[in-house]
Chains A and B, each alone.
Chain A
Amino acid sequence: MTYGTYLRKITDPANRADPYPLYAELRKTPVLRDEGGPYLVSTYWEIHGLLHDPRLSSDPRNLDPDAAAALAVTEEADDPTLPPSFLRLDPPEHDRLRRIATYPFGPPHTPRRIHDMRGELARIVTDLIDDFEGRDRVDLVDDFAYPFPVTVICRLLGVPRADEPLFHAWADTMLTSLDPAAAEADVAQRRRAVRQARVELGMYLSELIEDRRRAPAEDMLSSLIHGDGPDGRMSHAELVSTAVLLLIAGHETTVNLIANGMLTLLRHQDVLKRLHDDSRLAVPLVEEVLRYEPPVQLLPHRTPLTDIDIAGVTIPKGAAIWLVLASGNRDPKRFPDPDRFDPDRKDNQHLGFGSGIHICYGAPLARLEGQIALAELARRLENPRLLEDPPPYRHNAVLRGPRHLPVGFDGVRPAREP
């Protein structure tokens, strides 16, 4: 397996805290063939174009075998026990599964689901911050940014919160498949580990689904099992795949959104003060965090069905394409003064949630979680400050965020009366 210069640099932990100078260098060549590795696309309009391009496939079965081998990414398609989730499928299969998954989650069939969770989300946040009382420092990742979305996704799906240690370990292992640097390790061994974790998580969720089949509850798993829209129901295997996807995506990305957001706010105390004074700022602010420090830095799973000419480069059929969203978000051809954190930014059509048919399914929930979390932290923490800058980062270069975020403060203001 060969990894080109840039991929090495992107995955180098030394660049994790500030990968943006590297992205600026990448943008000099909007579509760059990284020696023997994937094609890296780093400019906004090229990424945006490819995200809407029907010649691009998300299905790993369309990857050239050599490209697939070079990537050394453990593909869902390798897994004989579970079908791929809609994240790794093209239309029409993608459309069918995503539509069915959307019936109990959002408009047009369930337009109020997320809105109605507002009170519950606020209560979870309040409880977590209440626990800060009597302390003068916390790890904002372990004490807040992680437990909050995990609790939310568990309640939404109907997964027992007490099982978190179990599925957290599986999720961690599975996500190494998204970690380009991990490919440097023993490939065969890692593939086995990832496959094993996916099988075990699948079996766990499969049992849960069987429970809900017998005894439906007020959660999304039950709705998915018993729902019956015009597209029919998912098969049991499809249900398990979808549940695996939602559980992992639902708690491994929002943690970075909240941690990156708080880190950015603590580095911009003027904005933090404004948010403290007016929580309505949270709405545009979360969009700017998604642009400025996106939780998902790049999308590594695309391949063309035919040769594509773009920005003077021909990307051959079957080649691996990585879309560097975080770089597109800092493209000066799209965003004036892109390295400035500016919650008042207009026309902020960032790529933080991707775009096109695979645009983040959970985006409405993630937005609300981010808005409530950041607004409440800003409102309740007295004189919050970073104790370590930069903080230690997770190993993963794709799902980028602090591993710990030590924050000091003088006290905790009381919660609002409910």
Chain B
Amino acid sequence: MSTTDERGASRAHRPDDSLARLRREGRIVIVGASLAGLRGAETLREEGFAGSLTIIGDEPDRPYDRPPLSKQVLVGGAAADRTTLPRRRAIRAHWRLRTAATGLDLTARRVRLDDGDEVPYDRLLITTGARSRPWPQPAEAELDGVFVLRTNRDAERLGRRLMAGPRRVLVIGAGFTGSEIASACRELGLPVTVVERGPTPLVGALGGVVGQVAAELQREHGVDLRCSVMVTALEGDAAGRLRRAHLSDGTALDVDLAVVALGAVRNTEWLDGSGLGAGPRGVACDAGCRAFDVRGLVTDDVFVAGDVARSPHPLFGYQFLSLDHWGNAVAQAEVAAHNMISPGPDRRPHLWVPAFWSSQFGVNIKSIGVPSMGEEILIAQGSLAEHSFAGVYGCQGRVVAAVTFDQTKWLDFYQQQIETAAPFPPPFRSVDRRPDGLHPVPAEFPDPSLPSHGPTVTLCGYSPTERRIVFTPARA
């Protein structure tokens, strides 16, 4: 015992020393003041970080919840300024809101701000998230009556205009946000047209088979749904108010309100030229949330979490996944924060299985895994026709994802199937298996991305600390 102590004490710069100093008096800066940033900050304090904590965000408000903005807020069920995120604990942070980060100096370890200030850090957590993709024609985007929906201010403005009773609402894009907005409009009794470039709503996220159900839901609820059509131009009147939309099928539509719901753009421009591996698809990081630089080398003082992160996932062939999911933001921020102040062996990989939910047209949609990786889908429970089912996606003979419409309570089972690389199609009988669920059918993704061949990887372990990966090497 004594020799070990002596040897330990004689080391001038043990890694533990610097880590202990960091935990005691280090400077941690978080850029991005939304869900991931807040949960990251709370985790740092929860795990004993006692140094200074600065949170930088370009929005004026403290972190707030976004999912209600396309749902309850639009129908008047909740006020847009009342979705402030609940706090798990005090974080004693220095908040710099209404302030955007404009640059990063990796060598000097400083974040540049739009007010000219620079903030030094010992560890940096990047949680700048994403913003809504704007309408590509700036002049048309400026028309009065053209909206996007991402922030609480967006929701407040859009909600007010919906309450004012527009003649007809045009929703451009039938992804989750667009579909939820259309659902809110119908709940308010407003005439709504949805224009979607793909063959069905939600086709990119869930494929054409499930997308067809989403299309039926929309039409049954009185949505004028037009698929395989694009909006080519938005036309304003002399006063700059939106009055008409022109479509790629040659028709035009008189509308006084249009919501552009064409997905999200990741907020990485401020990192241009910094040397960090950042681009339109996000900031690349390893499974421990450490950012890569442009050379593909991993940094040890810059961490990434939430919508802006791209990280390799062992369950999906180590592809880099960007997940703009609420639950991912929380889980990844917790892992990033933990790893920022923990020694190597205590660090954890971010092994969260992708999951998201949506509620639209009275149906609760939940998905787990990566459906877009699925080549085929099997309706394992319930029926598409009844809009109540559990669908399982398979890729190369294994289960990679599942989706439920109003069948949420089964998802834990399918998560376990994904985590253990269970065979697809599922060889077993289950409750509520219908005749149309006997055989898998093509999932009908417009552009399926296939995972690489390789060893099968499964997750095991019950608690986050004992979560492990098990390799089953591919047979030659």
Interface residues of A (CB under 8 A from B): 45, 48-49, 52-57, 90-92, 95, 305-306, 333-334, 356-357, 359
The answer to whether A92 and B432 touch across the interface, beta carbons within 8 angstroms, is yes
In the assembly, what is the distance between CA of A49 and CA of B432, in Å? 18
Which residues of B in the span 375-392 have a Cβ within 8 Å of any Cβ on A?
380-382, 386, 388, 390
The answer to whether B409 and A359 touch across the interface, beta carbons within 8 angstroms, is yes
The answer to whether B412 and A48 touch across the interface, beta carbons within 8 angstroms, is yes
| Chain A contact surface mostly | loop
Knowing A52-B409, A54-B390, A54-B431, the reply to whether A92 touches B382 (Cβ < 8 A) is: yes
In the assembly, what is the distance between CA of A53 and CA of B411, in Å? 9
User: Chain B, 57-97, contact with A by CB distance < 8 Å: what is the 0/1 string?
Assistant: 00000000000000000000000000000000000000000
Which chain B residue lies CB-closest to A108?
A: B362
User: Is B453's CB within 8 Å of the partner chain A?
Assistant: no
The answer to whether A49 and B413 touch across the interface, beta carbons within 8 angstroms, is yes
- A contact residues around B431 at 8 Å (CB): 54-57, 90-91, 305
The answer to whether A305 and B413 touch across the interface, beta carbons within 8 angstroms, is no
In the assembly, what is the distance between CA of A57 and CA of B429, in Å? 10
- B contact residues around A53 at 8 Å (CB): 413
User: Is B99's CB within 8 Å of the partner chain A?
Assistant: no
Knowing A45-B462, A333-B462, the reply to whether A91 touches B382 (Cβ < 8 A) is: yes
In the assembly, what is the distance between CA of A53 and CA of B429, in Å? 11
In the assembly, what is the distance between CA of A22 and CA of B413, in Å? 29
Q: Which of A48, A95, A305 contacts B430 (CB 8 A)?
A: A305
Nearest first, the 10 A-B pairs at minimum CB distance are: A54-B430, A91-B432, A52-B412, A90-B431, A305-B429, A306-B428, A52-B413, A306-B429, A357-B409, A53-B413
The answer to whether A91 and B381 touch across the interface, beta carbons within 8 angstroms, is yes
In the assembly, what is the distance between CA of A90 and CA of B432, in Å? 7
User: Is B318's CB within 8 Å of the partner chain A?
Assistant: no
User: Chain B, 403-430, contact with A by CB distance < 8 Å: what is the 0/1 string?
Assistant: 0000001111100100000000000111
In the assembly, what is the distance between CA of A48 and CA of B462, in Å? 12
Q: What's the least CB distance linking A356 to chain B, in Å? A: 5
- B contact residues around A52 at 8 Å (CB): 409-413
Which of B381, B411, B432 has the largest number of chain A CB atoms within 10 A? B432
The answer to whether B409 and A55 touch across the interface, beta carbons within 8 angstroms, is no
Give 15 new A-B contacts, CB below 8 A, not counting A54-B410, A54-B413, A334-B462: A48-B412, A49-B412, A52-B409, A52-B411, A57-B431, A91-B382, A91-B431, A95-B388, A95-B432, A305-B431, A306-B429, A356-B409, A356-B410, A356-B412, A359-B409
- A contact residues around B430 at 8 Å (CB): 54-55, 305
Which residues of B in the span 112-130 have a Cβ within 8 Å of any Cβ on A?
none
Which chain A residue lies CB-closest to B413?
A: A52
In the assembly, what is the distance between CA of A90 and CA of B388, in Å? 15
Which chain A residue lies CB-closest to B383?
A: A92
Q: What's the least CB distance linking A51 to chain B, in Å? A: 8
Q: Which of B386, B412, B428 contacts A55 (CB 8 A)?
A: B428
With an 8 Å Cβ cutoff, the count of chain B residues facing the other chain is 18
Q: What's the least CB distance linking A351 to chain B, in Å? A: 13
In the assembly, what is the distance between CA of A306 and CA of B428, in Å? 6
In the assembly, what is the distance between CA of A130 and CA of B428, in Å? 58
Of the A-B pairs whose beta carbons lie under 8 Å apart in the complex, a sample of 24, sorted by A's number, is A48-B412, A49-B413, A49-B416, A52-B409, A52-B411, A52-B412, A54-B410, A54-B413, A54-B430, A54-B432, A55-B428, A55-B429, A55-B430, A90-B431, A91-B381, A91-B382, A91-B431, A92-B386, A95-B388, A95-B432, A305-B428, A305-B429, A334-B462, A357-B409
In the assembly, what is the distance between CA of A92 and CA of B390, in Å? 12
In the assembly, what is the distance between CA of A55 and CA of B426, in Å? 11
Q: What's the least CB distance linking A400 to chain B, in Å? A: 26
- A contact residues around B412 at 8 Å (CB): 48-49, 52, 356
Which chain A residue lies CB-closest to B406?
A: A95
Q: What's the least CB distance linking B4 to chain A, in Å? A: 30
- B contact residues around A334 at 8 Å (CB): 462
In the assembly, what is the distance between CA of A406 and CA of B121, in Å? 63
Which of B410, B413, B416 has the largest number of chain A CB atoms within 10 A? B413
Q: What's the least CB distance linking A346 to chain B, in Å? A: 10
- B contact residues around A305 at 8 Å (CB): 428-431
- B contact residues around A92 at 8 Å (CB): 382, 386, 388, 432
- B contact residues around A56 at 8 Å (CB): 431
Which of A49, A53, A91, A359 has the largest number of chain B CB atoms within 10 A? A91
- B contact residues around A55 at 8 Å (CB): 428-431
The answer to whether B416 and A54 touch across the interface, beta carbons within 8 angstroms, is no
- A contact residues around B410 at 8 Å (CB): 52, 54, 356-357
- A contact residues around B416 at 8 Å (CB): 49
User: Chain B, 424-453, contact with A by CB distance < 8 Å: what is the 0/1 string?
Assistant: 000011111000000000000000000000
Which chain B residue lies CB-closest to A51?
A: B412
Q: What's the least CB distance linking A374 to chain B, in Å? A: 26
Which of B380, B388, B411 has the largest number of chain A CB atoms within 10 A? B388
Which chain B residue lies CB-closest to A230?
A: B362
In the assembly, what is the distance between CA of A53 and CA of B428, in Å? 11
Which chain B residue lies CB-closest to A356?
A: B409
In the assembly, what is the distance between CA of A95 and CA of B410, in Å? 13
Which of B409, B411, B416 has the largest number of chain A CB atoms within 10 A? B409
In the assembly, what is the distance between CA of A56 and CA of B431, in Å? 7
In the assembly, what is the distance between CA of A48 and CA of B430, in Å? 17
In the assembly, what is the distance between CA of A417 and CA of B413, in Å? 50
In the assembly, what is the distance between CA of A156 and CA of B451, in Å? 55
- B contact residues around A333 at 8 Å (CB): 462
Which chain A residue lies CB-closest to B432?
A: A91
Q: What's the least CB distance linking A52 to chain B, in Å? A: 4
Knowing A45-B462, A359-B409, the reply to whether A54 touches B380 (Cβ < 8 A) is: yes
Which chain B residue lies CB-closest to A53?
A: B413
In the assembly, what is the distance between CA of A49 and CA of B382, in Å? 20
Q: What's the least CB distance linking A44 to chain B, in Å? A: 8
Which of B381, B429, B431, B462 has the largest number of chain A CB atoms within 10 A? B431
Which chain B residue lies CB-closest to A333?
A: B462
User: Chain B, 193-218, contact with A by CB distance < 8 Å: what is the 0/1 string?
Assistant: 00000000000000000000000000
Q: What's the least CB distance linking B156 to chain A, in Å? A: 25
